[in-house]
Amino acid sequence: MSGARLDPLNVPNALTLLRLGLIPVFVVVSVFGASPMLTVIAALVFTVASFTDWLDGYMARRRQQVTDLGKLLDPIADKLLILAALVMLVEAGRAPGWLVILILAREFAVTALRAVAAVGGRVLAAERLGKLKMGLQTVAVLILILEPVLPVGAHLVGLILLLLATALAILSASRYALHYGRSLRPEIVR
């Protein structure tokens, strides 16, 4: 054996699985979240799930426990969490459907582009712009979840942040496409 094999069920991957498990909990609480208490509980579940995204990545890198399972599940869990929250916000009338469709389309396009790149042996790593987009989306979604218990201007703040996150999402998607396109060019031989 050339090296130690990592256990796929390590702590970082367990955190990713926890995030996946919290998604249906969030959805159920959101469906019944007409009361201020359930609104706060939905926000707490979303916050804990979002925090596991940062924590699993931090622990995987720090403990050198990056696994293929983690590389596969982590981005899926991230996308499912944010998309579940956005769909619930559309259902609650707190986010416009057209905006969520743009975000959904971007996520599917980038995921497809990464899959095509991977088949060709190329890796399109996450960029800072994508991480900033995810951070803005998370804050915007949290504000919109909590809108019923926040001061009057919260809805507008949440929508502005969601619009900014969408603009960053489109910009980062175009950068992924540009990087992929550049990776296809044959190198010039001198």
Domain 11-184, CATH? 1.20.120.1760
* pLDDT at residue number 112: 85
Q: Of 51, 44, 176, whose CA–CA distance to 110 is shortest?
A: 176
CA geometry: angle at 145 spanning 140 and 151, to 5°? Answer: 85
* pLDDT at residue number 3: 40
* pLDDT at residue number 6: 61
* Averaged pLDDT in 10-residue chunks for the chain of 190 residues: 59 93 96 89 97 89 84 87 96 95 91 81 74 92 96 96 95 85 61
Q: Are 158 and 96 in contact (CB under 8 A)?
A: no
User: DSSP code of 187?
Assistant: P
* pLDDT at residue number 165: 95
The tokens describing 187, both together, are: 């190198």
